[in-house]
Amino acid sequence: MKNLLSPSILSADFNILGSDIECVEREGADYLHIDVMDGSFVPSISFGMPVIKSIRKNSALFFDVHLMIVEPVRYIKEFSKAGADGITFHLEADSDPGRTIDIIHSEGKKAGIAINPETPVKELKDDIIEKSDMVLIMTVHPGFGGQSYIEECTEKIRILRQRAEKLKPGLNIEVDGGINIETIHTVLDAGANVIVMGSAVFGGDIAENMRYYKKVLG
Ligand code: DX5
Ligand code: ZN
């Protein structure tokens, strides 16, 4: 299975967002991770449809939109129209995840489902894993960039990869939060293949960071 790098623009410099995105695109980013926060599901508020619509004009990257919002089903059509290619929402925030996945698919987009660090993998029912294109294991408490990786999440990645081998071989398993030079090998060994990185890519020299992590991902 291919490893994919998804730089998270939450840690980009919003004053020069377009050129930061151009840089990661030029350096071979596979996805662009876009964190949408509503101040309710998570304590912070980030950005929404207008920003996505605007950056869509200058980027051909796969827009990996991570919705940290309550009852995401209300906004699937709008994020899809704004330019998302994949939409990931939280199991904890949705009363009917199967239906939300169907709606994302009916928009012609890839559907992902996310679980928080304290949510056990068993909360994801077999049919939800089977119909998802991606499962996102949060490796920090969602809401902010630059936090430390939560070690207990490694075992969750392993458990999910094992279940996916039976239910859906080739399932994309994404990890998000605290991934850097020290933790990247741990998540890859455990079975993750879509790697979100905010501060590790956008902190310092972006091109240099991209080259380093592209090499690690092979
Ligand atoms: C956190 C966001 C992450 C964040 C990761 O709630 O979902 O995508 O940008 O940032 P780092 O890689 O700095 O932990
Ligand atoms: Zn995210």
**Does the C-beta of 88 come closer than 6 Å to ligand 1?**
no
Split at pLDDT 50, 70, 90, the class of 67 is very high
- Looking at the CA of residue 178, tell me the nearest atom of ligand 1: 14
Output the pLDDT for position 180.
98
Average pLDDT over residues 52-67: 98
Percent of the chain, pLDDT > 90?
A: 100
**196 neighbors 176 (Cβ within 8 angstroms):** yes
3-state secondary structure of 33: strand
**Does the C-beta of 66 come closer than 6 Å to ligand 1?**
yes
Output the pLDDT for position 13.
98
Closest CA to 196 of 5, 23, 11, 61: 5
Output the pLDDT for position 32.
99
The CA 67 to ligand 1 mean position distance, Å, reads 12
CATH code at position 161? 3.20.20.70
Backbone angles phi, psi at 163, to 5 degrees: -65, -40
Split at pLDDT 50, 70, 90, the class of 56 is very high
- Per-residue pLDDT tens for 115-144? 999 999 999 999 999 999 999 999 999 999
**Closest ligand to 116 CA?**
1
Model pTM score: 0.98
| Start-to-end CA span in the chain (Å) | 11
**Does the C-beta of 199 come closer than 6 Å to ligand 1?**
yes
Average pLDDT over residues 35-41: 98
**Closest ligand to 46 CA?**
1
Average pLDDT over residues 71-77: 98
User: Cα separation of 184 and 161, whole Å?
Assistant: 16
Split at pLDDT 50, 70, 90, the class of 22 is very high
Closest CA to 104 of 138, 70, 66, 137: 66
- Residues acting as catalytic residues: 35, 176
Buried b (16+ CB within 10 A) or exposed e, 113-144: bbbbbebebeebeeebbebbbbbbbbbbebbb
Output the pLDDT for position 40.
98
Average pLDDT over residues 104-119: 98
The CA 65 to ligand 2 mean position distance, Å, reads 8
- Looking at the CA of residue 33, tell me the nearest atom of ligand 1: 8
Ion ligand 2, residue ranges at CB < 5 A: 35, 66, 176
- Per-residue pLDDT tens for 132-185? 999 999 999 999 999 999 999 999 999 999 999 999 999 999 999 999 999 999
Split at pLDDT 50, 70, 90, the class of 49 is very high
Range of the domain at 46: 4-217
Split at pLDDT 50, 70, 90, the class of 58 is very high
Q: Name the amino acid, one letter, at 166.
A: K
Split at pLDDT 50, 70, 90, the class of 204 is very high
Average pLDDT over residues 94-107: 98
The CA 37 to ligand 2 mean position distance, Å, reads 9
**Does the C-beta of 177 come closer than 6 Å to ligand 1?**
yes
- How many structural domains compose the chain? 1
Top mutation candidate among 137, 199, 213 for ligand 1, by most atoms within 8 Å of CB: 199
**Does the C-beta of 112 come closer than 6 Å to ligand 1?**
no
